[in-house]
Amino acid sequence: MSEVQDIEYDMVILGSPNWYGKPTPKVIQFIRQYEKALARLPLVFFFSCMDCYQTKKIEQPAVYCDSYFKDQIIDSKKLSSWEKSHAVSTYLNNLNKISNTLNIKSIAFFKGRLNFKKISFFNALVMRFICLINKKIQPGDYYKQQDVVEWSKELIPNT
């Protein structure tokens, strides 16, 4: 991202780890810096995250959830506070709060990696606490390349 100067593309595919429901500060800064250029272009956004829920309501833009999350479809009225904070609609709202001119055509969620040794002491402490209270969230490497490949084929049908 630091090498990007002008965004002269047909579309933009931008991704980030989920940090408390939002992209990382570096990605947030990128979105703010290129807000005008991004507003003109179709944007595909993806999160690597530990959890994600879809509500039964059909979401716009197109949503892709990887094989860990694809069956996590819940009635929006029955979401727990954890589920609500990890719902597709919440992720989208948080992106729109960063820039309300984003032209998000598609959003994807992939389960990623959680390694306490690779994050700051404070964030490791918070994440350890989350793992303690939510047994579903545990450190590990959950990345599945196959899901990313499948998604990319959906995105660009002729490849």
Ligand X SMILES: Cc1cc2nc3c(=O)[nH]c(=O)nc-3n(C[C@H](O)[C@H](O)[C@H](O)COP(=O)(O)O)c2cc1C
From candidates 37, 119, 131, 148, binder to ligand X by CB under 6 A: 119
Nearer to ligand X, 48 or 106 (CB): 48
Least gap, CB of 22 to ligand X (angstroms): 9
Binding segment toward ligand X, per CB under 6 A, in 38-46, 47-55, 72-80, 93-101? 47-55
The count of chain residues that interact with ligand X, using the rule CB under 6 A, is: 17
DSSP secondary structure string for all residues of the chain: -TT-----SS-EEEEEE-BTTB--HHHHHHHHHTHHHHHHS-EEEEEEES--BEESSPPSSEEEE-TTTTT-EE-GGG--HHHHHTBHHHHHHHHHHH-TT--EEEEEEEE-EE-GGGS-HHHHHHHHHHHHH-TT---EE---HHHHHHHHHHHSTT-
From candidates 44, 50, 65, 88, binder to ligand X by CB under 6 A: 50
State yes or no: residue 72 binds ligand X (CB under 6 A): no
Nearer to ligand X, 55 or 86 (CB): 86
From candidates 27, 43, 104, 114, binder to ligand X by CB under 6 A: 114
Q: Can you give the binding site for ligand X, defined by CB under 6 A?
A: 17-21, 48-51, 86, 112-114, 119, 123, 127, 137
